[in-house]
Amino acid sequence: MVKHIVLFKIKDDIQADDKQVIMTTFRDDILALRNIISCIKDINVGFNINPDEQWDICLDSTFETLDDVRYYSKHPQHVMAAGKLKPHLCGRSCVDFEI
């Protein structure tokens, strides 16, 4: 099994209300993928509640193989969800590891 963790940082100049809408839309779009992309074993999106930390969103997902992660990342529905978020980002970090 492979754990796929992605952290996102929203641009600092985005107003709090707009930021919340952006983050909620991304979460809803990503969570909908579990009914569309069959290789997703588990997927969650959380919003940072600790103001001392820099990242705003954590995507935590599980797949059988790294090839499944690659399939997911190139799937048109995932590309669309990520594409909505991308213009609002100033940072992204990712790690994939075996569990």
pLDDT digits (tens, 9 = 90+) for 65-82: 999 999 999 999 999 999
pLDDT digits (tens, 9 = 90+) for 47-64: 999 999 999 999 999 999
pLDDT digits (tens, 9 = 90+) for 81-94: 999 999 999 999 99
User: Rounded CA gap, 80 and 53, in Å?
Assistant: 28
User: Rounded CA gap, 51 and 33, in Å?
Assistant: 29
Candidates 87, 90, 74; CA nearest to 26 is 87
Fold annotation for 16-90: Alpha-Beta Plaits (3.30.70)
CB 81 within 8 A of CB 33: yes
For the record, the structure tokens of 6 come out as: 């992605």
Q: What is the pTM of this model?
A: 0.93
At residue 20, the pLDDT reads 96
